[in-house]
Structures are given as structure tokens and as C-alpha cells.
Structure 1
């Protein structure tokens, strides 16, 4: 008989299929560019390339990471958000929200922070997904979600003031894109508002 914890781990990908898809795409993208290094520059967010019509980079840039530490940190963050919010994020609606946040935050960086010429990583999207999920579930778990939103706000503001964590920068081999965290969180708020409007229109 398979122990319950092992069964739970084995069933996790099926129960959280959209999240498993995102994680799978991240790992596939990472291994692909490790085998074919030239693909990294084809997938990364690049301001000039987006300007020339490479809009796919708004999404593909979030799928690849600077190194294994960067990838695992972001995957761990995505799993943590999934454990906190369950089907709220691991649903078709959650996947569409994540995709919308990813595109919107990338577009915001392109338009509002043109000095950011290049980036990779999922962390901006994760900040947005956390904000979206907490706001979406606010009526059901008021105090815990308010605490999460306050914590997220403090983190993002602190990063803007201090310039980010140098220890994390050393670990991932790149500057922590604090602008991405800010734009991601704001995009999550915007998508949460749109989600609530659409829900009300359907009623």
C-alpha cells in the first residue's frame, strides 16, 4: 500500500494541472536553452526585440531563468502560492489570470521602465499571482489575505527603496528585477479588478 504522503505527491500534478503545465514549461525551456545556448537570447525579454515585434518574449521571458537556483526558487514560490490558494490558482481561471499578469507586467516594463533592456524569470508573475489570488479570495478569508497583501506591499516597497537583496543577486547571477516585482504586483491588482467585474457581469 502506498503511503498517503507519497500518493498526495503523485496526484499533485493531476490535481493542479495548470500549475504543473507552467512548471513543466519552465523546466523544458531551461533544459532546452542549456542544450542550445543561442535560444536564451531568442526567448528572453529584450526591449529592442519586443520593439521590433517580438511580443512573444513577454511570455517566454518568464519561462527561462538565469540558472538552476533561479528556476528552483521561482518554482518553489509557485508551489507555495498553490498550496496557499489551491484551486483558486490551479484552475483555468487561475491559469488565464497568470497569463494575463505575465503579459501585462511585461508590457508595463516595456512601456514604463524602458531602461530595463533584458530580463528573464517568473518572479514578477508570481508577485502578481499572489496579489490576484489574495484579492480574489478576500471575502472568504479576509484577515489572512489582508495580512498577505500587507506583507507583499511592504516587500515590494522595501525593494524599491533598498534596491533588492544582494544575496539573491549573487545566487542567481543577475540583478534582482525589483521593477518586475512592482509591475507584477500592480498587474495582479488590475487583473483581480477585471476578474471581479467579469464575475459580476455574468451574474
Structure 2
């Protein structure tokens, strides 16, 4: 139990904050959501906290499920402190990039952009370690992100989430994730996650 808590400390902490912020809606959004005007006035904490508030219940559940899935699969790639650095960096840079380069976006909540960045960073890093299947994963995620730019997002999906999907955050996250995975020092990477999973299965058998 202690090992689990230590290994997934960040995912647990983020989950608790997201659930509490959901229970405190809409007041939590007033203090934590990205708001262009308020960030310009000096409320820079919103570059991070915007990732921890959501449109509603389903949006919260989907983002947290994705965070846990990515953590379970890829966390063996990095030691815990580096994993936290990755996630916080992706949280902050994703919102900051939107603030600088997408002036039409006034308000934003959710961590989906950072999550796309996290999976792109992990897949890119594993590709550098020789795991070719990670390249396939990167391609699939890229198609998932860029396809809505051609096909558009169905209104039913927006209604399901409780608001419009900000596709720009997904694109920015995906690109910054690839950059992070490419330039993170190779000596700071552990063994690829897929190999770690296979090793654990062998040790259990």
C-alpha cells in the first residue's frame, strides 16, 4: 500500500484536487480556471490550476481516467520526481502557449491538452529507447488530435462534456510533448514501460 501511494502520489493528489474542485463548482472555476483578462492582470497561478478544474462531472471523470491510465502504463519510464516535473511542466506550458498564441481563447478548463502532451512525451521517449510500437501509438494519437480539424467536433460530444472542446490545447499539448520526449536527457530515462510490464508479468508467473 505504501509503495502504491508513493508511486502514484501525483495522480492521487491531482485526483483529490479535481474531485474537490468539481464539488465546489462553479465557485472553484472562478478562482482556478484560465481567464485571459485575469492572467494578464497578474493571476498567473491559473496557468496551472486551470488543469485541475473541469466543465462538469463527465469531463472530470474522463480526464482523471486518462491520467491514471497513462500513469499505470508509462510511469516506469521515469522516477517519481521526474514524472512530477513532466506533468507540471506540461500543465503550465500548455496553458501559457494558448495564452501567447491563441488570443481568441478567453476561458479554458481541463487537463486534456497536458494529457495529450504526456502520452506524446512518453511515446517519443520510448521510441528513442528503441520501442518501435511507441511510434505507432504516437501516430494514432496524432490522427486522433488532427482529425477533428478536418471533420469537426460533433455537437453531441460538446453537450456530453458540458462545453466546447478546445482543440487548440490538444494540438499544442501534442507538439510540446514530442519536444519534451525528444530533448529530455536520455540518461534520465528508465527502461521502457512495455519492457517493465513484461518483466512484472514474468516475475508473477
User: When the two structures are superposed, what TM-score results if normalisation uses the length of structure 2?
Assistant: 0.83
Distance 1:85 1:68 in 2: 26
Residue 23 of structure 1 deviates from its aligned partner by 1.8
* 1:163–1:178 contact (8 Å) kept in structure 2: no
Q: Which range moved further: 109-118 or 167-176?
A: 167-176
The question of 1:75 aligning with 2:67 is answered: no
- Change in 2 beyond 3 A, CA 1:189/1:38: same
For residue 116 of structure 1, give the secondary structure of its aligned residue in structure 2.
Answer: coil
Query: Which of 7, 18, 38 pairs up with 2:10?
Result: 18
Residue 189 of structure 1 deviates from its aligned partner by 1.9
* 1:128–1:187 contact (8 Å) kept in structure 2: yes
Q: Kindly report the root-mean-square deviation, in angstroms, between the aligned alpha carbons of the 2 structures.
A: 2.3
For residue 137 of structure 1, give the secondary structure of its aligned residue in structure 2.
Answer: helix
For residue 73 of structure 1, give the secondary structure of its aligned residue in structure 2.
Answer: helix
Per-residue Cα deviation, 1:114-148 (whole angstroms, up to 9, x for no partner): 10110100111100000111112224452221011
Q: Counterparts in 2 of 1:93-132, with a 5 A limit? A: 93-132=82-121
Per-residue Cα deviation, 1:83-114 (whole angstroms, up to 9, x for no partner): 22133367211111111111111111011111
Q: Which range moved further: 65-74 or 82-91?
A: 82-91
Distance 2:102 2:86 in 1: 22
Distance 1:96 1:171 in 2: 32
Query: Which of 20, 34, 37 pairs up with 1:45?
Result: 34
Residue 194 of structure 1 deviates from its aligned partner by 3.6
Query: Which of 142, 152, 159 pairs up with 1:163?
Result: 152
User: When the two structures are superposed, what TM-score results if normalisation uses the length of structure 1?
Assistant: 0.84
* 1:89–1:95 contact (8 Å) kept in structure 2: no
